[in-house]
């Protein structure tokens, strides 16, 4: 068998054993893929495939240079693959290869951006357990949820890149499909034994110490199982990054504001409805200068809090920085150019940090003192900013800094094998090697001078290259004058190259010293890297503190530039408070100064205000006014008004200032939205089923402390169906759920509820009609809209004038319950029909002289007329766009004409 046969054979054997989608195997200076692995990779990554023959057959082959593996690995893993990496090891008789790590989406260390990369596990037991680890930053969150659906929802909020479903969630009940659908991540069916309770518990003890579970109060069996499985999986990936997970962070379900994926998307927090990242709330708010700060801002935004003390701490921080422009700028200047300490700690732990990474740690720790000075100088030293700076264990930080300062040269290289990393004075043995090395180099450097003197040759130089090593070069004219101890090694066109015994000896010495020096530097570097790894917990804390400061400074900057104000936070109403009974009038509730009133003066939409001359609007919601029915023409600003209200509440609950003149925000336990059925229906993104599923979830999940935004309900079905559902949902939200609700609807009938239900009020977005065209005022006013603007929109859209005029005429008559004559082409006869708006039924038809005479109609127009009348009867005039109405009228006329 040739070597080539051996390699393909070896690859296929390893591939067989690897629990991965793709294997790559080191062969000398390349990582190779063979067979269908090569084809898969080539297709995904645009690599060239060649053929490798083995045993008379030929195998596809693709390869990447060793130094370039990382980006290819990352690209494969980003596409959801598990990739096994087999390294080549030197052995006594040649080399051997074995798989030493498996890189998966949830364990990938070389990340392309600052975003978190969560690996989640979910276990169904008495309750559901969830664990989420980000190996790139060492974060490790655990929590529990009542049932799998809630748990999957919670999991999806972290946008995990990989999920490990527990053994009970892989069955026929569709849980696995839901996990796949609701999280974009890869679902990996990991070894069920890793989920076993005993093993999981032991794994957690090993990681965090014996008392850790008690000290953080982690008792849920399912959560322990999930957490243990995540740790086991990280370990099994073989990347040595397990130790970066230094802390377990349990959180309670009630800590955060419930914010499902639909709502995140509807509010365009991190992605727009079209999937763009510009024009989002995050992009608008983001003035951070560090990757970690950006990650922190994203986390805050996607996981708003209910904890008033924590939020007020953040507000204090924003406030301090908003009021101290100089300090804010100075802080941002210091932070700019610092590095992501949590990420660097993970690299150190996994042994992949290079000298530049450790230099980055040093440079970043260096800003702590200047930051503290800034706080002192600008008298914000009793603000949360200053307290954050004290968060890390300062002694460990100081020791580590001193060590890095002593150990590393300034501006070290990116590789660890070529020396030039460790500073002089750090290690005696290295210094001795360096001294000898430099002496030897000095000897070489001064050699030409000495040789010129000794030999009298003027054109003499000393140089080095890879093939000849060190040599003495003499010009041809003097080549015959060289002394006897010169040995010629090469003849060039204009010169000759020589060496001497003494030079050979020096060369050997230099090579030996170089090797010693590189080896010693590598050893020392690895020891320093281990010290950094050992301090990873502190680095994570300091990194977190710097990220928060960056984030607070960013919020302050945005607040100042856009005139945002600090909202007053009040605790939400007590849930299940029995003092109010559903039936009685709430107008006289309590003392009138209801604790959970939401009140926004001149509120704005944080994103829309950036690009538009924005018209601010107030919003007030409370126990006696917990639901607003929002009406107004299309495009008048209903969605914007509702979204800005939701966003102001959300921003308040991340600790940010808000776009308003003043705001008082009762802390909510969840923000639920259902938006835009019609737009989505049109684009095939939604179905009536989806709309109803979303409504169902809201009606189940929302409480009296929630904020609910409904932008049209029931449009995806026939009018009577739709209006009935909207009606019943309104009553339910008002009577049972009692959530604060904003409900935009085109069903004018619902505005009637505003007069009848005590907690419901009508508001409308005003538009003004002048000279037959509509001006949107963008002002939200009390009361319902008086009329529909469909015809005006038809006008604006360029529908021909005769049609628009006729629509107005029809509309007016219908509204007044007057007869509408059906105009027939060519005939001067008219038939009149009356549509009863209050009953929604066809109330009668009349000839020009009045009175309903069906027989005569049938006589005059034939049998089809009956069907036309039936169709006319079932039309819902209020909800059918006038243009469509006209088209129908035309169709009817044609039918009658056809007789």
List interacting residues with ligand ADP (CB under 6 A).
Answer: 608, 612, 614-615, 632, 634-640, 778
Alpha-carbon span 274 to 276, nearest angstrom: 6
- Contacts of 658 by beta carbon, 8 Å cutoff, 6+ apart: 564, 565, 567, 600, 603, 648, 651, 652, 665
Long-range contacts of 639-642 (CB under 8 A, 24+ apart): 639/675, 639/676, 639/711, 639/744, 640/605, 640/608, 641/617, 641/742, 641/765, 641/780, 642/709, 642/711, 642/742, 642/744
Residue number, 171 or 783, with CB nearest to ligand ADP: 783
Closest approach, Cβ 386 to ligand ADP, in A, equals: 39
Measured from each CB, the residue nearest to ligand ADP is 637
In the chain, the N- to C-terminal Cα span, in Å, equals 91
Residue number, 158 or 614, with CB nearest to ligand ADP: 614
Residue number, 335 or 750, with CB nearest to ligand ADP: 750
Residue number, 572 or 616, with CB nearest to ligand ADP: 616
- The closest of 35, 37, 38 to 48, measured between CA atoms, is 38
Q: What angle do CA 859, 860, 864 make, to 5 degrees?
A: 80
Closest approach, Cβ 641 to ligand ADP, in A, equals: 6
Residue number, 404 or 791, with CB nearest to ligand ADP: 791
Closest approach, Cβ 616 to ligand ADP, in A, equals: 7
Closest approach, Cβ 726 to ligand ADP, in A, equals: 16
**What is the DSSP-derived secondary structure letter of residue 381?**
T
Token pair in block for residue 102: 């498996």
- The closest of 628, 626, 630, 629 to 586, measured between CA atoms, is 626
Closest approach, Cβ 777 to ligand ADP, in A, equals: 9
Strands 460-465, 487-491: parallel, antiparallel or unpaired by DSSP? unpaired
**Per DSSP, which regions of 721-787 are E strands?**
740-744, 760-770, 773-782
Residue number, 24 or 639, with CB nearest to ligand ADP: 639
Strands 249-250, 139-145: parallel, antiparallel or unpaired by DSSP? parallel
Alpha-carbon span 594 to 573, nearest angstrom: 9
Closest approach, Cβ 674 to ligand ADP, in A, equals: 14
What CA–CA distances, in Å, run from 408 to 342, 346, 438, 506?
20, 20, 19, 29
Closest approach, Cβ 837 to ligand ADP, in A, equals: 24
Residue number, 626 or 638, with CB nearest to ligand ADP: 638
**Per DSSP, which regions of 431-530 are E strands?**
460-465, 469-475, 487-491, 495-499
State residue 708 phi and psi, 5-degree precision: -120, 130
Residue number, 240 or 279, with CB nearest to ligand ADP: 279
Residue number, 212 or 273, with CB nearest to ligand ADP: 273
Closest approach, Cβ 611 to ligand ADP, in A, equals: 8
Long-range contacts of 573-576 (CB under 8 A, 24+ apart): 573/623, 573/666, 573/704, 573/705, 575/669, 575/703, 575/704, 575/705
Residue number, 261 or 793, with CB nearest to ligand ADP: 793
Closest approach, Cβ 586 to ligand ADP, in A, equals: 28
Residue 401 near residue 365, CB atoms below 8 Å: yes
Residue number, 315 or 686, with CB nearest to ligand ADP: 686
Token pair in block for residue 574: 């007590």
Neighbours of 785 (CB within 10 A): 21
Residue number, 37 or 746, with CB nearest to ligand ADP: 746
Closest approach, Cβ 638 to ligand ADP, in A, equals: 3
- Contacts of 733 by beta carbon, 8 Å cutoff, 6+ apart: 627, 699, 702, 708, 739, 741, 743
Closest approach, Cβ 790 to ligand ADP, in A, equals: 12
State residue 547 phi and psi, 5-degree precision: -65, -40
Token pair in block for residue 547: 């990220």
Closest approach, Cβ 121 to ligand ADP, in A, equals: 41
SS3 for 196? Answer: coil
Closest approach, Cβ 765 to ligand ADP, in A, equals: 6
Residue number, 634 or 830, with CB nearest to ligand ADP: 634
| Secondary structure (DSSP) of 350-365 | HT---HHHHHHHHHHH
Residue number, 250 or 659, with CB nearest to ligand ADP: 659
Residue number, 536 or 785, with CB nearest to ligand ADP: 785
Supply the angle between the helices 35-45 and 69-78 in degrees, to the nearest 10: 80
Alpha-carbon span 157 to 331, nearest angstrom: 31
Closest approach, Cβ 749 to ligand ADP, in A, equals: 18
What CA–CA distances, in Å, run from 466 to 147, 511, 852?
68, 12, 110
Closest approach, Cβ 239 to ligand ADP, in A, equals: 47
């Amino acid at each position: 068998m040739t070597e080539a046969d051996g390699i393909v054979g070896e690859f296929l054997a390893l591939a067989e054993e690897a629990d991965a989608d793709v294997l790559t195997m080191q062969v000398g200076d390349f990582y190779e893929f063979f067979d269908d692995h090569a084809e898969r990779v080539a297709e995904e990554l645009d690599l060239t495939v060649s053929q490798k023959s083995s045993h008379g057959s030929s195998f596809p082959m693709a390869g990447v240079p060793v130094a370039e593996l990382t980006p290819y690995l990352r690209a494969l893993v980003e596409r959801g693959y598990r990739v096994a990496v087999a390294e080549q090891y030197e052995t006594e008789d040649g080399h051997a290869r074995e798989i030493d790590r498996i890189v998966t989406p949830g364990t990938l260390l070389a990340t392309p951006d600052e975003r978190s990369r969560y690996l989640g596990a979910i276990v169904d037991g008495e309750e559901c357990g969830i664990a989420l680890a980000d190996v790139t930053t060492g974060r490790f969150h655990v929590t529990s949820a009542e049932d799998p659906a809630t748990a999957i929802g919670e999991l999806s909020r972290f946008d995990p890149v990989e999920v490990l479903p527990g053994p009970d969630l892989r069955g026929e009940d569709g849980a696995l499909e839901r996990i796949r659908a609701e999280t974009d991540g890869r679902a990996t069916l990991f070894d069920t034994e890793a989920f076993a309770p005993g093993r999981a518990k032991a794994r957690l003890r090993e990681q965090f110490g014996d008392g850790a579970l008690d000290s953080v109060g982690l008792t849920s069996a399912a959560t322990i199982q999930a957490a243990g499985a995540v740790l086991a999986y990280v370990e099994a990936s073989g990347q040595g990054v397990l130790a970066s997970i230094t802390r377990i962070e349990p959180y309670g379900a009630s800590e955060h504001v419930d914010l499902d994926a639909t709502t995140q998307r509807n509010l365009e927090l991190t992605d727009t409805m079209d999937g763009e990242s510009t024009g989002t709330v995050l992009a608008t708010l983001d003035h951070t200068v560090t990757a970690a700060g950006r990650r922190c801002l994203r986390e805050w935004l996607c996981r708003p809090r209910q904890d008033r003390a924590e939020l007020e701490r953040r507000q204090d921080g924003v406030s301090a920085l908003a009021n101290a422009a100089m300090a804010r700028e100075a802080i941002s200047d210091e932070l700019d150019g610092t590095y992501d300490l949590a990420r660097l700690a993970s690299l150190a732990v996994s042994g992949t940090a290079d000298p530049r990474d450790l230099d980055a740690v040093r440079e970043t720790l260096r800003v702590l003192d200047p930051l503290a000075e800034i706080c002192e100088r600008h008298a914000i030293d009793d603000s949360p900013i200053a307290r954050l700076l004290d968060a890390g264990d300062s002694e460990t930080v100081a020791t580590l800094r001193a060590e890095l300062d002593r150990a590393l040269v300034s501006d070290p290289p990116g590789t660890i094998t070529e020396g030039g990393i460790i500073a002089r004075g750090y290690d005696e043995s290295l210094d001795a090697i360096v001294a000898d090395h430099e002496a030897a180099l000095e000897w070489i450097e001064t050699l030409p001078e000495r040789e010129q003197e000794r030999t009298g040759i003027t054109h003499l130089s000393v140089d080095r290259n890879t093939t000849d090593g060190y040599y003495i070069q003499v010009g041809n004219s003097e080549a015959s004058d060289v002394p006897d101890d010169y040995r010629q090694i090469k003849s060039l066109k204009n010169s000759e190259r020589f060496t001497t015994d003494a030079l050979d000896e020096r060369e050997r010495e230099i090579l030996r010293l170089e090797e010693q020096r590189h080896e010693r530097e590598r050893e020392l570097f690895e020891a320093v890297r281990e010290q950094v790894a050992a301090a990873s917990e502190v680095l994570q804390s300091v990194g977190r503190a710097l990220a928060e400061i960056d984030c607070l400074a960013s919020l302050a900057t945005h607040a100042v530039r856009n005139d945002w104000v600090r909202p007053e936070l009040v605790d939400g109403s007590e849930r299940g408070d029995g003092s109010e009974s559903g039936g009685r009038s709430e107008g006289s509730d309590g003392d009138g100064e209801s604790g959970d009133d939401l009140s926004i003066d001149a509120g704005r939409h944080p994103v829309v205000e950036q690009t538009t001359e924005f018209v601010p609007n107030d919003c007030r919601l409370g126990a006696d006014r917990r639901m607003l029915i929002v009406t107004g023409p299309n495009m008048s600003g209903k969605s914007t008004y509702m979204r800005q209200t939701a966003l102001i509440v959300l921003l308040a609950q991340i600790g940010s200032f808000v776009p308003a003149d003043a705001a008082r925000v009762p802390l909510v336990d969840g923000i639920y939205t259902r938006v835009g059925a019609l737009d989505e229906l049109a684009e095939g993104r939604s179905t009536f089923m989806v709309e109803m599923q979303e409504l169902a979830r809201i009606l189940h999940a929302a409480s009296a402390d929630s904020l609910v935004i409904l932008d049209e309900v029931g449009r995806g079905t026939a009018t009577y169906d739709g209006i009935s559902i909207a009606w019943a949902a309104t009553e339910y939200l008002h009577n049972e759920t009692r959530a604060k609700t904003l409900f935009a609807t085109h069903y004018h009938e619902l505005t009637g509820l505003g007069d009848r239900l005590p907690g419901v009020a009508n508001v409308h977005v005003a538009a003004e009609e002048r000279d037959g065209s509509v001006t949107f005022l963008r002002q939200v006013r009390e009361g319902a809209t008086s009329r529909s603007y469909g015809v005006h929109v038809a006008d604006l859209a360029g529908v021909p004038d005769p049609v628009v005029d006729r629509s107005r005429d029809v509309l007016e008559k219908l509204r007044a319950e007057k007869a509408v004559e059906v105009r027939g082409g060519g005939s001067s006869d008219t038939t009149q029909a009356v549509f009863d708006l209050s009953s929604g039924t066809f109330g009668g038809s009349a000839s020009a002289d009045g009175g309903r005479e069906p027989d005569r109609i049938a006589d005059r127009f034939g049998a089809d007329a009956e069907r036309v009348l039936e169709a006319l009867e079932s039309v819902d005039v209020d909800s059918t766009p006038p243009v469509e109405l006209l088209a129908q009228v035309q169709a009817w006329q044609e039918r009658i004409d056809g007789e």
